[in-house]
Chains A and B, each alone.
Chain A
Amino acid sequence: MSAVDVAGVGIHPFGRFEDRTITDMGVVAVRAALAEAGVGRGGFQAAFCGTAYGGVASGHKVLSRLGLTGMPIVDVEAGCASGSAALMLAAQSIRGGAHDTVLVFGIEKMPKGMIRSSFFEPWQEDTGLAATPAYFALRAQRLMHTSGVTKDHLAAVVVKNRRHGVANPDAMFRREVDADAVLGSRVVCEPLHLWMLCSPNEGAAAVVLTRGDATRAGTARGSVRLRAAVVRSHLPGSVLSESTPMSGLVDDAVAAPTTLAATAAFEEAGVGPADLDVVECQDTDAARELLSYEELGLCEPGGSGAMIDEGATSFGGRLPVNTSGGLLSKGEPLGASALGQIVELVRQLRGEAANQVEGARLALAHTVGRGANAGVVVLSR
């Protein structure tokens, strides 16, 4: 199998842009990634576009604007992991020998407020069960119950990520907050306060992948290798799985989709959690980040509260998590968010990041959301 390298990345800032369409934002990110990779017309043989709300032929609309069509363009929907799934398919097509160079991008323009998802049926909406943040809250409460996590820990995650986000010009929120302010914001769904939840928003990100032995331009920026790009769905049985079932078994031993994806990705990359230098993980809400520490194996089960207490995951700590500011600072444009993580980690591995982790050599990106879809990507210098 061929090795896969990242030849270029590009991003359109995440935020609210009333004067720009989803296509406009996609064009910005794609142009930036292609320019970094030194790839133009005819330079890539396939394109995968992650989007959840973009609608029919979203990817085609971006590449049509640039006159870069003719190759297969496939839109990929996998909820919050849409970009991870697009990346997985692109990497597989290179590893399998079908292509030398593939463009991957993610685009989104989310409606404001609580997300109305076609996932739910009308009776669930009528019964009040289509309340997405409530499921985050139930998961947070269970984590507090099983791991001794407190609201102070949840606030600490927000404080950390918002502090990291100050340095990120592509983030939506670039102002520090303190724990009192987080805990003073209104309760959306107990135990989650407003500032513990990320904002659905708009943005785009793009990545160009090439076969490791292919001749490429742009190598002056330093070579970044894609070691694994894995997506997994849920196993049946867990009532609070991101698959959002209406029932589940009285069984707490069902492996989470994030754990399934991480296990496969670590095996594929031949590394373990202890080898990582920097991580971007799904922080849809503050508890989700802590749960991710445990499900990814960054700490022992029950150890996530201590990890945030010790500052291990802060910039400057033992294993910085969400140096970009995370979704809590950037906001979450579903189709673009996973590739936004890749942009941050590629910059870390090149030594170009705003919050640069010194000597970073191995990085992990994690997304999880409805489906369930969990994506884990491992990158190395």
Chain B
Amino acid sequence: MHAVPVRPGLFTEGESPHLLGSRCRACGAHSFPRADTCSYCSSDGTEAVELSARGRLWAWTAVTTAPPGYRGDVPYGLGVVELPEGVRVVTRLTEADPARLAAGQDVEMVLVSLHRDEDGQRVLGYAFAPRDEATDAAPGDAVAGVAGGRAGAP
């Protein structure tokens, strides 16, 4: 069965996925999602980069009620991770129990199944998983939704 990204241009797929961001040639700041203009210094000279797949957890919570427009399962984790580029990114988390997360925890990006579209294809989104969880699952399993299995489509 095919899988499609929730939106093209957000992340790379494959064995070691990365978020697609941009780096400003003028001020050096990184941002996500990718943009032609720098949202910090208004320069239009940005370059496309793959952001680091590993970072540290900075803030986290869990969503217990499906928000408007969301077609997947609840609960799921939501938080902010800090990447080595000096950027903080808002992300889904594979861990939906806030008590099992901690400030500064090592996390790694994975792809998760969000829901199935009208054609039965799995729709893939990005998430971050605690490193122990991410490394326990082979990359292929993560794509198959193991890392984010509780939030995956059947």
Contacts and interface: CB of A to CB of B under 8 A. Distances in A.
Contacts of A137: 61
A127 B92 contact: yes
B61 A247 contact: no
Contacts of B49: none
A132 B90 contact: no
Interface of B: 6-7, 10, 21, 29-33, 39-40, 59-65, 67-72, 76, 78-80, 82, 86-90, 92, 98, 103, 114-115, 123, 125-126, 151
Contacts of A249: 29, 40, 86-88
Contacts of B67: 114, 125, 128, 130-132, 134
Given A123-B7, A123-B10, A131-B78, A239 B88 contact: yes
Chain A interface size, as a band, is 35 or more
A128 B76 contact: yes
A130 B61 contact: no
A128 B114 contact: yes
Contacts of A122: 7, 69
Contact of A142 (B59, B72, B87): B59
A280 B87 CA distance: 35
A189 B63 contact: yes
A141 interface: yes
A138 interface: yes
B78 A247 contact: no
Given A137-B61, A141-B61, A145-B103, A114 B68 contact: yes
A114 B63 CA distance: 12
A57 interface: no
B39 A189 contact: no
A137 B77 CA distance: 12
Nearest to A129: B90
Contacts of B6: 123, 126-127
Interface in A301-356: none
A128 B64 CA distance: 11
A192 B61 CA distance: 9
Given A126-B123, A138-B59, A138-B79, A247 B70 contact: no
